[in-house]
Each structure stands twice: as structure tokens, then as C-alpha cells.
Amino acid sequence: MDIETTAIKDVIVVTPRRFGDSRGFFSEVWNEVNLQSAGITDQFVQDNHAFSAEKGTIRGLHYQLSPNAQGKLVRVTRGAVLDVAADIRKGSPTFGQHVAVELSADNWKQLWVPKGFAHGYCTLTENVEFLYKVSGKYSPEDEAGIIWNDPDLAIDWKVDPSSVHLSDKDKILPRLKDQNKLFEYGEIA
């Protein structure tokens, strides 16, 4: 596995190696020992698989608060997305900043989104399959989010804003400055 740091040191790009031959390929996409040596020490409790038919579908920016905060290891097995992790840890030197990485079936990159970050993605192609491991169980009472087009975050989603596809829930999320459910820097284990 190749490990890359990003502009926010806690967010990590992981690129598993693929070994191919005339039959196809093999890839070890998760290895506990390798990821622990890269600083990803969370234990995963669930795997999720999402499908988005339309280009320009934005899911997020979502997160869960403690005690069910989630770290996420995300990847794409069909199509391409722009994947975003936004630091929402009050007191963090990178509070309000984000990392955006293109993940695709072609580049085989994965993104580690640690606890304390809001996460979202935008489909750059049609028929995207998005897989992710989470380190905390789904908890509706702990879930929260930030509106995708918050001007303070200034995320360039790489699609025409007038043509995005959103869930009803994601259309009404608050801005970061109006969100009272955030993390404190250093509180998350």
C-alpha cells in the first residue's frame, strides 16, 4: 500500500497495489497492520456500499458525534467522485479547512476520513459505486451535517452547482458557523 499525507495531516490517502494478469487483478484493499503503521488505528464495525446513478450527486457533508463518532475509509469501485473531508474540530489549527481528493475505479485511491471531520462526496460520473468502512455504528441521534455549498468552506465540487442532486435532508443542513454540534480539538479518541 502506498500512503500519502494531505494538507491536513490526519487525512490520509491510501492506494492499494493491484496485481494483474490476463484474468483481471487482485488487490489487498485493507490490511490492519499496514494501516496501523500509517496511523489508522480505528477498528471498523461496519462496511457500507452506496450507488449513485446520476453525475453531480452530492452526499454530505455528514458526521456523527461522540459516543458514536465515525472514522471512514472510503473508496470507489465504479466511476469517480470528488471526496471531501472538512475539519470541524473547534480549536484545531485547520478548523474549517478541507481536503478534496478524486477517488475512482481507475486510480484505486482510498481516503481515510478520521473522527472529527465532516465527510461528503460528489459523483463525477454516472453509475458510481462507493464503498466505505466505518469505525462507529450508525446512530441517528448523533448524526449531524453541514450544507454542501457553505461559502465559508468554499468547496469546489467540480460540477455545475445548478445541476447537483441532493437528498431532501442534505438540502436543509446548516452552515458550519450555524452548527452547534461540533467536535473539540483533542477530545476524540
What region, left, alpha or beta, does residue 152 occupy, with left being phi > 0 and alpha being psi -120 to 50 degrees?
Answer: alpha
Residues 6+ apart with CB under 8 A from 40: 12, 14, 71, 73, 112
Catalytic residue ranges: 62, 132
What region, left, alpha or beta, does residue 159 occupy, with left being phi > 0 and alpha being psi -120 to 50 degrees?
Answer: beta
Which among 9, 59, 52, 1 has a CA at the least distance from the CA of 27?
A: 1
Torsion of CA 99, 105, 106, 109, to 10 degrees: 40
Question: Is residue 128 within 8 Å of residue 102, measured between CB atoms?
Answer: no
Residues 6+ apart with CB under 8 A from 151: 175
